[in-house]
Amino acid sequence: MNDSDWLDAVAVAMAIVPTAYSRNKMFAFYKKPEVRRARDRSRAMRSLARELAGRLGRVSDIELEQKGDTWTLRYRIPSVRLGRTAELTKAELACIVHLVGSFGAEARWAPALEGVLDITLARLPDQLRPTGS
C-alpha cells in the first residue's frame, strides 16, 4: 500500500468517525507524522463539509474541477465574505459529500461517487477499521 492510499484511508476514517481512534489509547499511532497529517486532513474535510452544508450561511459559486487524480473545489459564502479553494483526492471528495449529507444538506454539485468510501476504508487493516458512523 502506498502512502497516499494509507493517508486517504486513515483521513477518511477519522473524518467520518472522529472518535474512532482514541489518542490516549493509541499514543504511538498518533506520533507517526503520516497519522498527524491524516488527522489534519480529516479536520479540514469536516470543516469543508460543515461550510458546504450551510453552517456559515448560503454557499454560492460552487465549482468542482478534475485534473487527473486531483479535484479542485471552490466556493464562496457571501454573508461572511469567505472564498475557499481546496485540492482533494477522490476519496476526500467522496467523504465530504457523505459528510454534507450527514450534516443535513445535499451535495447536488458533486458527481456520483458511490462505492469510493467503501473501497477507501477497505484499505485499512482490520484493527483500524472504525465500528461506528
**Model pLDDT, residue 8:** 83
The CA-atom distances, in angstroms, between 19 and each of 14, 61, 97, 100, 116 are 7, 33, 20, 18, 22
User: Nearest 5°: phi and psi at 82?
Assistant: -110, 135
**Model pLDDT, residue 42:** 93
Is residue 27 within 8 A of residue 75, CB to CB? The reply is: no
**Model pLDDT, residue 4:** 64
Whether pTM exceeds 0.75: yes
Residue 120: other Cβ atoms inside 10 A: 23
Provide the 3-class DSSP secondary structure of residue 37. Answer: helix
**Model pLDDT, residue 127:** 72
**What string of pLDDT tens digits covers the 133 residues of the chain?**
565 677 789 899 999 998 888 776 787 777 888 888 988 999 999 999 999 999 999 999 999 999 999 999 999 999 999 999 999 999 999 999 999 999 999 999 999 898 999 999 998 877 777 665 4
Spans of all domains in the chain: 3-125
Q: What count of residues does the chain have?
A: 133
Distance, CA of 37 to CA of 110 (rounded, Å): 25
